[in-house]
């Protein structure tokens, strides 16, 4: 039994079953035993890998997209360049390298990283030495200023609530006690105002997910962008509207039972991009697939250019990385790119339909 499983069992014995969101929040962010509090989970030796860790091309193209969007909006002399959940800091390092020759961009940028994990903050400080980033605990603390923001595989880590349809009401899925572990159960039906629009496309017994933290964060970001200018590029897996149970746990790159070893496995859920877009009525939202976005930004030309200097197995793994990021059977279609931008500004490159 993991230490966190013991703690959760004690809490549930005292309080009764807890929402899935509470289980997910404790598993990921418990200050002593939480998954992100205790490790760097990324890379081949970790539990999962991500687009910026697969190839430098991902962060480079995102960086050039941000810089073009900044130029398109008149190159404000001072702006916030922010990342949510920067992991090892790889994407921000690639963004900064790719934009080093964009006149004025670095001088105008104040770099902010929203990060909950102490071990990962340390990795980010190493990767970004020389750039003096500032760390924040919450997106709400971002300066009230023009904002260009990126987030890759951040929103999938935010705690979700799950509900099973029951007539015009919903039964919340909760985590309760089994003999020696944890098990799912359902609360009695109750109305849920955040799910009113889901009464149109669901039937009794369907499960839908709702991520209250995502809506709060996206409201802050959308408001900054609408008030002061800027753009957000949010990459993650999920669909325009999600249906069904997408909670998943990964350990050493393999799926495991989400309830079995809290604190030891990564927990994520698909991002419901429609819910993000609905939370920011004051900014434009546009969604495309990661594959299409990267192709529009010229990833194939960049891949060929990099390949010229490579040979042997390094060249082969570079070609495989290009395919992995863009191909529909790999990350190209499951992963999406949501762009937020002001009503009055052109969309960032790659999001122009
Ligand atoms: N963007 C990186 C890392 C993705 S993993 C990459 O693509 O490689 C998720 C990241 O979000 C980690 O850095 C994790 O510590 C951070 N994170 C998760 N939940 C968070 C929260 N509630 N607040 C701030 N950071 C969080």
Is there a contact between 24 and 160 (Cβ–Cβ < 8 Å)?
A: yes
Q: Quick one: DSSP state of residue 348?
A: P
pLDDT at 352: 86
Cα 160 to ligand 1 centre (Å): 15
pLDDT at 45: 81
Ligand 1 in reach of 331 Cβ (< 6 A): no
Protein residue closest via CA to atom 16 of ligand 1: 85
Query: Whole-angstrom Cα distance, residue 152 to residue 237?
Result: 9
Is there a contact between 128 and 96 (Cβ–Cβ < 8 Å)?
A: yes
- HSE-CB of 253 using CA atoms within 13 angstroms: 7
Ligand 1 in reach of 83 Cβ (< 6 A): no
How many other CB atoms sit within 10 Å of the CB of residue 311?
9
Q: Which residues of 209-226 are buried (b: 16+ CB within 10 A; e: fewer)?
A: bbbebbbebbbbbbebbb
pTM for this predicted structure: 0.96
Q: Quick one: DSSP state of residue 190?
A: B
Element (H, E) at 184: strand 182-186
> Which of 21, 22, 36, 335 to mutate to test ligand 1, by most ligand atoms within 8 A of the CB atom?
36
Tens-digit pLDDT string for the chain (353 aa):
899 999 999 999 999 999 999 999 999 999 999 999 988 999 778 888 999 999 999 999 999 999 999 999 999 999 999 999 999 999 999 999 999 999 999 999 999 999 999 999 999 999 999 999 999 999 999 999 999 999 999 999 999 999 999 999 999 999 999 999 999 999 999 999 999 999 999 999 999 999 999 999 999 999 999 999 999 999 999 999 999 999 999 998 899 999 999 999 999 999 999 999 999 989 999 999 999 999 999 999 999 999 999 999 999 999 999 999 999 999 999 999 999 999 999 999 999 87
pLDDT at 117: 95
pLDDT at 138: 97
């Amino acid at each position: 039994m993991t230490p966190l499983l013991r703690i959760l069992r004690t809490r549930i014995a005292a309080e009764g079953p807890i929402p899935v969101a509470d289980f997910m929040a404790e598993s990921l962010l418990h200050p002593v035993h939480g998954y992100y509090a205790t490790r760097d989970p990324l890379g081949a030796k970790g539990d999962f890998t991500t687009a910026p860790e697969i190839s430098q091309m991902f962060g480079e193209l995102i960086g050039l997209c941000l810089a073009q969007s900044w130029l398109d909006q008149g190159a404000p002399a001072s702006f916030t360049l922010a990342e949510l959940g920067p992991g090892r800091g790889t994407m921000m390092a690639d963004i900064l390298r790719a934009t080093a020759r964009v006149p004025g961009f670095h001088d105008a940028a104040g770099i902010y990283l929203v990060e909950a994990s102490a071990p990962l903050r340390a990795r980010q400080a190493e990767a970004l030495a020389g750039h003096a980033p500032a760390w924040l605990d919450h997106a709400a603390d971002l300066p009230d200023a023009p904002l260009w923001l990126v987030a890759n595989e951040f929103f999938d880590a935010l705690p979700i609530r799950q509900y099973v349809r029951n007539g015009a009401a919903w039964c919340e899925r909760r985590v309760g006690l089994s003999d020696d572990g944890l098990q799912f159960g359902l609360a009695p039906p109750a109305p849920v105002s955040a799910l009113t629009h889901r009464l149109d496309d669901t039937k009794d017994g369907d499960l839908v997910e709702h991520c209250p933290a995502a809506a709060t964060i996206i409201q802050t970001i959308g408001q900054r962008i609408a008030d002061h200018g800027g753009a957000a590029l949010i990459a993650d897996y999920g669909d325009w509207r999600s249906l069904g149970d997408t909670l998943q746990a990964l350990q050493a790159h393999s799926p495991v039972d989400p309830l079995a070893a809290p604190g030891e496995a990564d927990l994520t859920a698909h991002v419901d991009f429609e819910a993000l877009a609905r939370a920011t009525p004051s900014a434009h939202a546009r969604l495309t697939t990661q594959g299409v976005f990267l192709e529009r930004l010229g990833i194939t030309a960049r891949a060929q250019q990099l390949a010229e200097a490579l040979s042997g197995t390094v060249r082969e793994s570079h070609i495989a990385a290009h395919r992995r990021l863009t191909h529909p059977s790999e990350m190209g279609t499951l992963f999406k790119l949501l762009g937020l931008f002001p009503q009055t500004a052109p969309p960032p490159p790659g999001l122009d339909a």
